[in-house]
Structure 1
Amino acid sequence: MKISQNTVVQLHYKLSDENGLLESSAQSEPLLYLHGHQNMLPAIEAALTDKTIGDTLDLVLTPGDAYGERRDDAIQSVMVKHLQGAKKWKAGMTAVVETEQGPRQVTIVKIGMFKAEVDTNHPLAGKTLTFNFEVLDVRAASDEEIAHGHAHGVGGHHHH
């Protein structure tokens, strides 16, 4: 079976930038996702379309195809109490902030008693990224998975 709209894909991946490996699924569970439902970057979905079990793919994405260019006007001031993810904050740490567009990852630039300056650029913005994929399994999605818009099962989304 080939990867296409409404297939559930199981794959191992490695993510690198110009400085080396950032992330790898090799030591943990493979990634499971539902194809064609914006669960992956569009450029990744496009590159994986029509691949099948056993295929490998090396994909280099410029910032424009990945997480965008860094914006210099992206420093914002937020109340420390709105930062999620840790008890004590230091510059350089990544926090999650709820916004009108949903949760966003931000990087702490400066931390005060009550206010923090955060960089709202995605942590990988401005980077050219190399993805290495190995397709382990492709199956038709269930009606429930299609209705929910994501894969279920090992490595998939778990409802809480």
Structure 2
Amino acid sequence: MKIAQNTVVKMHYSVLDGDQNSIDNTFDEEPLEFIIGTGFLIKGLEDALIDKQAGDQVSVTVEPEQGYGLRNDNLTQAVPKSMFEGIDVEVGMQFRATTDEGEQAVIVIGVEDEEVIVDGNHPLAGITLHFDVEILDVRAATQDELAHGHVHSEGGCGHDH
């Protein structure tokens, strides 16, 4: 079976940034399993998998526009340290922030005397990504999986909907 909308794909992958630094790798772990078309993968990788099948190996470079987007400098700002009352804020911490567009994840990129510098960009925004993928299995998603939007293991999905 070929990969298409509403198929379940089981695959191993590794991903590197433009400097060949490893970002993630499943080859020594459990493979990734997901439904094509649910937005689980970034667009550039999902598009590259269409029409592939079990046994195929794929290498693809995904530019930021088809990955996690371009960096937006307007998403970096200084906020008063008082907003983090009772928390020993450190670089690298992640928080949920309320914005005009709803909740958004931010990461602390700097701590100064009275201000905390936060960045609302995805950590991989602006980065070209290089994927090596091995397709292990492709099957049609069940009606329950499509209704729930995720893959079910044998015996169901393990939670109530």
Instruction: Tell me the TM-score normalized by structure 1.
Output: 0.81
* Distance in 2 of aligned mates of 1:134 and 1:53: 8
The CA deviation at 1:3 is 0.7
By how many angstroms is 1:96 displaced?
3.8
Residue 42 in 1 paired to residue 43 in 2? Answer: yes
| 1:80 equivalent among 78, 84, 87 | 84
* TM-score of the two chains, using structure 2 as the length reference: 0.81
Identical pairs, percent:
38
Contact 2:90 2:108 in 1 (8 A): yes
Q: Distance in 1 between matches of 2:128 and 2:33?
A: 24
Q: Which runs of 5+ in 1 are unaligned?
A: 82-86
Unaligned runs of 5+ in 2: none
Q: Distance in 2 between matches of 1:115 and 1:150?
A: 40
- 1:111-153 deviation per Cα after TM superposition (whole angstroms, max 9, x unaligned): 3699632111110111111011110111111111000112122
Deviation at 1:105, TM superposition (A): 3.7
Aligned to 2:70: 69
Report the RMSD for the aligned CA atoms in angstroms. Answer: 2.7
Query: Does residue 28 of structure 1 match 2:29?
Result: yes
Q: Is the 8 A contact 2:97 2:106 kept in 1?
A: no
Query: Structure 1 residue runs of 4+, over 3 Å off?
Result: 98-105, 111-116, 157-160
Shift of the 38–71 alpha-carbon distance from structure 1 to 2, 3 Å rule, reads same
The amino acid that maps onto 1:95 is: Q
CA distance in 2, matches of 1:142, 1:113: 55
Distance of aligned partners of 1:88 and 1:25 in 2 relative to their CA distance in 1, 3 Å threshold: farther
Does structure 2 retain, via aligned residues, the 8 Å contact 1:105–1:123? no
Instruction: Verify: 1:10 aligned to 2:16, yes or no.
Output: no
The aligned counterpart of 1:140 is 140
> Aligned with 1:64: secondary structure?
helix
1:123 maps to amino acid: P
Residue 110 of structure 2 corresponds to which residue in structure 1? Answer: 110
Conserved 8 A contact 1:80-1:114: no
